[in-house]
Amino acid sequence: VTLGSPPRQARLGPNARVWLLSASLAAVAVALVFSTRLEGPLLRLNTAAVWIAVTVAFAASEIWVVHVQFRREAHTISLSEIPLTVGLFFIAPWALVLAQACGVAAALALHRRQSPVKLGFNLAQMALSTAFAVVVFHAAIGRADPLGPRAWLVAGTATACASLVGIISIRAAISVTEGRIRPDKLLEVTLFSLVGTFVNTSLALVGVVTIYRDARAGVLLLLPATALYIAYQAYTRERQKTERMEFLYNTGRTLAGTGSADNGIVQLLEGAVEMFRAEVAEVWVRTAPGDSPGSRTRVRSGQLAEVEAIGDGEYSEGLLEEIMSTDRGAIVDLRQSPPGARRFLERHGLRDAVLTSLKAENRVVGAILVGNRLGNVSGFTPDHLNLLETVATQVGAAVENARLERVLQHQAFHDALTNLPNRALLNERTETALARPGSGVAMLLVDLDDFKVINDTMGHSVGDQLLVAVAARLERAVRDSDTPARVGGDEFAVLVENMSADGDATAAAHRVIEALRQPFDLAGQKVAVSASIGISTNIGGLLDPGALMLQADVAMYAAKAADRGGYRVFEPSMQDEVAERHALRDDLRRALERGELVNHYQPLLALEGHAVLGMEALVRWRHPDRGLIAPGFFIRLAEESGLIVQLGRWVLREACRQLAEWQRLRPAWPLGVSVNLSAVQLRQDGFVDEVVGILKATGLDARSLTLEITESTFMDDTRTAIARLRELRGLGIRLELDDFGTGFSSLSLLRDLPLDGLKIDKSFVDGIRTESDRPVFLQAIVRMAEALDLEMVGEGVEEAHQAEALRAMGVQRGQGYLFSRPLPAEDMGAYLRRSVSLADAEDPAVVRMPARRRSD
């Protein structure tokens, strides 16, 4: 047993005390040896040869020690009891102590390069142990048969004594250097050593008996001794392997299981210091574009020591920069590493360390370090580096996921262009504000006048600039307690809370109008913009957020109609607008009965090669007076009134019937149809049976049908919705999440959904400015879809460069005006027939889209 756990303070001063302790131990050892008054050995063989063999064996036993690790405690089993036992029988006491001193000194100084103070201590401590063994052995053996059972017992007792003395001396040294006594684990260590001692001693006794009978038989013993050593080693390795696997398994679980990656990282670092038997573990996380600042998290001695925000400057530090740019980890220590690495260690208060970069996908997101290995037996090895690399991959992925989650979280509640809160967040805040008893709440709906003109004449990008500038002014104009939001293309809203009088709402409107009065500087031109504001309040009665918004909307239209650039407060007489909606609802009911609904179909294409894969059914209302009405005007209404159930059923049946007909054009063509599903429909009991019935009636294979759902499907009753979708998917129906990226809030929910694909919302496709443009959030979506093994459809593709960029990013399918607008059924049929004849003429294997023709 050698001195474990090197106390850090040992370098600082208590060295002298250790020297003193060593000297005392050595003195006692010498006194003991000579007290035996024994000149010669118990048994005589070729003394010189035995002495040399024993010396070499002592040296060897220190070089090939067996480290057995239990958690932070390192047990070192040395085979030194073997030469010790042999020596007790064949060598004179003083010669035995000398042999040990020579052998051990050579091994520790040359092989393990121990510092003088440790070397001195270890030598003294071992000399004392051996001296004890000698005294006990010679006192107890008396006149017994030197090769008989009694002698064996005596030898065992002697080596056990030596072992105990060793343990006590080491504890003494630790107390001397650390200034305190640590009784922990003493029993465990002691028992562990004694077991090793008995095994080794028995082996040695077999050797003694055999060699004395016939020295040549020693050769026979070599084999079992080697086997024993190998068994020890194998055990240690196995044990380490299991521990490492356990550790990696636990890190994975920790990172996946904790809600936030930050917690997970702390737990992981705590695990790492144990696993690596080190004092310090640290993780640096670099800032990512559009994210919170970078951070450094440090765990010391098993506890969170510090977390600090750091700037990018930290990474320009030599060693870190090298690690993070070269993609290779390093093992460094204060004694042997180049000056740059030493400076790094000194700055961070470390003696030695193993460190590597954190990689997520193909980006370096930071670095991880484990430092100050405990125990002086060995420093960090390439094995440790390997282990750390694996941990780093897990941490890197966790860091990246956490970042994504934060981005998505933000995205779910903010408008991507202006970064203002979106409708969802506004609704949430309104609900909270209304729930507070006795508080005055007002909603201002701010609609820019003539925004469409600016957008059309000056271009989209100028339009976007204007929206951003308006958002900035709006933010400055409102009080801190108010919430400005973007609720539509050119529609903003301000939630005013804690009103004391109804004049507060109009004051807020004045501030907004004032803020927009100065012309905007856009593309070198001064552009004047005005806004019409509708105001509603909860004064005079409780309202829910929807009603508050609706009244503000009505008031806003009134303001627009009266004098643009002004504001109006809601009055009941403005209800006419609302009444009109009611009228529309009755109209819609009749429309269903009279068969005024039609499906239009928009082709869906493979972005690679432009094969036609199918189409999405999009409903239209052929109104007798108003002409063709887009679904944007009546789907909400249908949902609110429950009419959507009937409407959706009609759309689905018609789409299935139509597709079955088209499939007969060319039976080998795997054509599919996508149908939008409203949350209300899915909530209906018997919905699944209804779908089964429709498929049967129309003779359509379930695999040709894709149902498109939105995240709103999961808002109310997530579990029922998921169960129902599982049933549908079980039938073979494909499921896709529509408008992806605009409103969902949880990655973990996404993981649980039974989905086949996602449709990337048009707003992200619009964000692709050039063919090589890779908007950050779009890329995040694509990566996530890939990770979840979901197919992707790019929606609203209008430009060729968008299609190309999507394709290059790995999005398989596309849909949009670039390929075709939604077409009436007849036109869609013609489109498909043209595609088929084109295929027959060129390449019968693929049915591609026909040359583009403007219609619809």
Instruction: Tell me the C-alpha distance between 220 and 230, whole Å.
Output: 17
- The label of the residue with tokens 């060793």 reads 166
Quote the least distance from Cβ 639 to Ca ion, whole Å. Answer: 15
Asked if residue 651 binds ligand C2E (CB under 6 A), the reply is: yes
User: Would you state the structure tokens that stand for residue 675, as one six-digit string?
Assistant: 């149908």
Site string for Ca ion, 689-708 (x = CB under 5 A): -------------------x
Please say which residue, 352 or 639, places its beta carbon nearer to ligand C2E: 639
Type of residue at 196: G
Within 13 Å, how many C-alpha atoms sit on residue 258's CB side?
A: 18
Whichever of 282 and 736 has its CB closer to ligand C2E, that residue is 736
Residue type, 664: R
Instruction: Give helix 218-257 / helix 261-275 axis angle, nearest 10°.
Output: 170
Residue whose structure tokens are 């109804």: 502
632 touching ligand C2E, by CB under 6 A? yes
Cα 411–chain centre separation:
18
- Residue 618: name its binding partner from Ca ion, ligand C2E, none (Cβ under 5 to 8 Å by kind): ligand C2E
Binding flag, residue 798, ligand C2E (CB under 6 A): yes
Terminal Cα distance for the chain, rounded? 88
Q: Phi and psi for 4 in degrees, rounded to 5?
A: -90, -160
- Give CA separation, 209 vs 130, 149, 176, 212, 221, in Å: 21, 11, 42, 5, 11
Q: Which residues contact 352 (CB under 8 A, 6 or more apart)?
A: 331, 332, 333, 334, 345, 371, 372, 373, 379, 380
Q: Which one of Ca ion, ligand C2E, none is in contact with 635 (Cβ closer than 5 to 8 A by kind)?
A: ligand C2E
Cβ 683 vs Cβ 717: under 8 Å:
yes
State the alpha helices, DSSP H only, in 498-643: 503-517, 545-562, 576-594, 635-641
Q: Work out the angle between the directed axes of helices 93-106 and 15-35 (0-180°, nearest 10).
A: 150
| Interacting span for Ca ion (CB under 5 A) from 408-416, 527-535, 780-788, 794-802 | 794-802
Q: What one-character-per-residue DSSP string does 27-62 give? A: HHHHHHHHHT---S-SS-S-HHHHHHHHHHHHHHHH
Q: Which does 631 bind (CB under 5 to 8 A by kind): Ca ion, ligand C2E, none?
A: ligand C2E
Q: Which of 302, 340, 379, 631 binds ligand C2E (CB under 6 A)?
A: 631
Q: Which does 817 bind (CB under 5 to 8 A by kind): ligand C2E, Ca ion, none?
A: ligand C2E
How far apart CA 486 and CA 484 sit, in angstroms, is 7
- Secondary structure class of 821 (helix, strand, coil): coil
Q: Which two tokens stand for residue 601?
A: 């179909």
Question: What part of residues 734-793 is at the interface with Ca ion (CB under 5 A)?
Answer: 738-739
- Enumerate the β-bridge partners of residue 628: 622
The least CB distance from residue 823 to Ca ion, in Å, is 16
Judged by beta carbon, residue 666 or residue 683, the one nearer ligand C2E is 683
Q: Give the interface size with ligand C2E as a residue count (CB under 6 A).
A: 20
Q: Which amino acid makes up residue 390? A: T
From the CB of 652, what's the least distance to ligand C2E, in Å? Answer: 8
Q: Closest CB to ligand C2E among 156 and 796?
A: 796
Identify whether the C-beta of residue 454 lies closer than 8 Å to the C-beta of residue 544. no
In whole angstroms, give the CA distance from residue 215 to residue 45: 9
Specify the residue, 591 or 758, whose C-beta has the smaller distance to Ca ion.
758
- Under the criterion CB under 6 A, does residue 618 sit at the interface with ligand C2E? yes
Q: Could you give the CA distance from residue 724 to residue 207 in angstroms, rounded to a whole number? A: 76
Nearer to Ca ion, 587 or 739 (CB): 739
- Number of helices (H), then strands (E), in the chain: 28, 25
Nearer to Ca ion, 55 or 676 (CB): 676
Task: Please report whether residue 627 would count as binding ligand C2E according to CB under 6 A.
Answer: no
Structure tokens at 512: 């907004």
- The minimum distance between CB 680 and ligand C2E, in angstroms, equals 8
Range in contact with ligand C2E (rule: CB under 6 A) among 215-223, 308-316, 458-466, 793-801: 793-801
Question: Does 738 help bind ligand C2E (rule: CB under 6 A)?
Answer: yes
Nearer of residues 373 and 600 to ligand C2E, judged by Cβ: 600
Residue type, 544: D
CA atoms within 13 A on the CB side of 798: 10
Positions in 657-686 near Ca ion (CB under 5 A): 676
Report the alpha-carbon angle 282-286-291, nearest 5. Answer: 130
| Distant-in-sequence, close-in-space partners of 693: CB < 8 Å, separation ≥ 6 | none
Residue type, 223: L
Nearer to Ca ion, 229 or 633 (CB): 633
Per CB under 6 A, which region of 39-47, 91-99, 791-799, 824-832 contacts ligand C2E? 791-799
How many Å apart are CA 785 and CA 133, to the nearest integer?
70
Q: Give whichever of 349 and 489 is closer to ligand C2E, judged by the CB atom.
A: 489
- Among 262-270, 410-418, 658-666, 795-803, the segment contacting ligand C2E (CB under 6 A): 795-803
Task: Closer to ligand C2E by CB, 329 or 741: give it.
Answer: 741
Question: Which of residues 89 and 601 has its CB atom nearest to ligand C2E in the complex?
Answer: 601
Q: CB of 452: closest distance to ligand C2E in angstroms?
A: 14
Q: Which range in 422-430, 546-554, 581-589, 809-817 contacts ligand C2E by CB under 6 A? A: 809-817
Q: Which partner from the list Ca ion, ligand C2E, none does 816 bind, CB cut-off 5 to 8 Å by kind? A: ligand C2E
Window contacting ligand C2E (CB under 6 A); options: 52-60, 321-329, 539-547, 790-798: 790-798
| One residue of 529, 574, 619, 823 binding ligand C2E per CB under 6 A | 619
3-state secondary structure of 644: helix
**Partner in contact with 287, chosen from Ca ion, ligand C2E, none, beta carbon below 5 to 8 Å by kind:** none
774's tokens:
């890779």
User: Binding marks (x or -) toward ligand C2E, 48..87, rule CB under 6 A?
Assistant: ----------------------------------------
Q: Which stretch binds ligand C2E (CB under 6 A): 330-338, 475-483, 561-569, 624-632?
A: 624-632
What is the length of the chain? 856
Site for ligand C2E contains 635 (CB under 6 A): yes
Please, what is the minimum distance in Å from the beta carbon of residue 660 to Ca ion? 21
Decide whether 275 or 782 has the Cβ nearer to Ca ion: 782
**Is residue 676 a contact residue for ligand C2E (CB under 6 A)?**
yes
To Ca ion, the closest distance from the beta carbon of 764 in angstroms equals 11
Q: Is position 678 an interface residue for ligand C2E (rule: CB under 6 A)?
A: yes
Checking DSSP bridges between strand 567-569 and strand 531-537, what pairing results, if any? parallel
Min dist CB 651 to Ca ion, Å, is: 11
Binding-site partner at residue 822 among ligand C2E, Ca ion, none, CB < 5 to 8 Å by type: ligand C2E
Beta sheet of 303-310, edge-to-edge order: 303-310, 294-300, 278-285, 363-373, 352-360, 330-333
Please report, as ranges, the residues that interact with ligand C2E according to CB under 6 A.
Answer: 602, 618-619, 630-632, 635, 648, 651, 676, 678, 738-739, 796-798, 815-817, 822
Please report, as ranges, the residues that interact with Ca ion according to CB under 5 A.
Answer: 676, 708, 738-739, 795
